[in-house]
Amino acid sequence: GMELLRALLSRTLGLGGDRAEPVLDELSLAGVGRFIKSDRCKNIVCMVGAGISTSAGIPDFRSPGTGLYSNLQSYNLPYPEAIFEIGFFKKHPEPFFALARELYPGQFKPTVCHYFMRLLQDKGLLLRCYTQNIDTLERVAGLDPELLVEAHGTFFTSHCLRASCRQSYSLAWMRERIFSSLVPKCEKCQGLVKPDIVFFGENLPSRFFALLESTLLIIMGTSLQVQPFASLISRVPTNTPRLLINKEKTGQSDPLMSLMGFGGMDFDSDKAYRDVAWLGDCDSGCLALAELLGWKVLPPSHKFWGSPCPPNPCGTPLNPPMSPQEELEELVQREHAAIDAKGGDRDGGIPQKPQGDEDKDGGSPKKSLGDEGKAQSEPKKGLGSKAKAEKDPKKPQGGDKDKAENDPEKSRGGQ
């Protein structure tokens, strides 16, 4: 029995009975910072969830008070999750679009956390960003769609559901129909048009399952409760450090599961060797890490043209012109100013790319689609259908501009 267990352990964990060599000199944010600055950190994979968009005014539907599901009574749903089930949607699309209108963000402004990932990309460190969010803020922040896996799809593009048609539509086109209270119909075949977000009963993007040889994993703002998204944490090499930036510790597994090779995060045991938790909001965590990395390129004479720095997490006030966060903060301020300058224009988003018809600034004061992203991604019930996607990763789905993704497969029917 022990032999079998030992073999299982060495095979699943790749440990050969021994733990992998620790890579970090200390299990702390500072240790991670030193590792990123070393030449051993070749690339970084980020996994992000709703928590990175809350400071953009896109609430996490799981947090109390957002009341997403309590708004749904008037729609006569058989049960709340039906609004995100593909079978129900095909028969009764109205509730979903009514909800989309109610939750549509007034403005798309990426957060400090989004721009931190943009810096990782600009410095050649970002290997891949997996996001659970459907709010398109990663794209607005300038992340290259080639580096992006929108695990639960995106509102950025929409497609006709009819298999023989699959006509593609832009965000601006979809927004116009949502706000004119029309159920979006295909201009070619009159079929139903659905945003490329992944409903229950649909497949995840095929690229989702690519194994990655990353040297560092950064997990931000996700409760790691949705499969198969949560399983990604164990798909990196066993010696790859994993940093969690989140309001609470998450992703830890019970001891028996770890023994069987389904190891979660281990922050605190005496066997901990690679996992670090930084507790707090994602923007503060990214600022603290940027500070440790010394990512500033501006001369001290450069004056801030915006609000002063947020307080240093260590409590000592920072002098804005000398702030180590200046490179990150200046990027955030410059990009936000560009979005503000576009105001209510038709193309209020994605500053770097000629995407004139993509409407980023809905002008509606309503809260947000981000809830909706969570509603479809983290209800108590919907795990079965997500797991179903895991068995059959062949069919691409989602609005990624990757070649494989340009023609999302037709959905497989609700449960």
- The residues assigned a catalytic role are 152
61 is known to lie in a ligand binding site: yes
Give the span between the Cα atoms of 148 and 46, in whole angstroms: 10
350 is known to lie in a ligand binding site: no
User: Whose CA is closest to 40, among 237, 204, 335, 192?
Assistant: 237
316 is known to lie in a ligand binding site: no
134 is known to lie in a ligand binding site: yes
CB 192 within 8 A of CB 186: yes
113 is known to lie in a ligand binding site: no
The distance in angstroms from the start CA to the end CA of the chain is: 40
314 is known to lie in a ligand binding site: no
How does strand 148-150 pair with strand 126-131? parallel
Q: Is 50 left (phi over 0), alpha (psi -120 to 50) or beta?
A: alpha
For residue 134, the SS3 value is coil
CB 78 within 8 A of CB 13: no
53 is known to lie in a ligand binding site: yes
133 is known to lie in a ligand binding site: yes
46 is known to lie in a ligand binding site: no
Count Cβ atoms below 10 Å from residue 339 Cβ, excluding itself. Answer: 20
Single-letter residue type at 252: Q
Q: Is the peptide bond before 110 cis (omega within 30 degrees of 0)?
A: no
For residue 395, CA distances in Å to 3, 265, 390, 411 come to 39, 30, 11, 10
132 is known to lie in a ligand binding site: yes
189 is known to lie in a ligand binding site: yes
DSSP 374: H
Sequential DSSP letters for 295-321:
---S-TTPPP-SSPPPPPTTSPPP-GG
326 is known to lie in a ligand binding site: no
- The annotated binding site is made up of 50-54, 60-62, 132-135, 160, 165, 186, 189, 222-223, 246-248, 282
- The annotated binding site for NAD(+) is made up of 50-54, 60-62, 132-135, 222-223, 246-248, 282
- The annotated binding site for Zn(2+) is made up of 160, 165, 186, 189
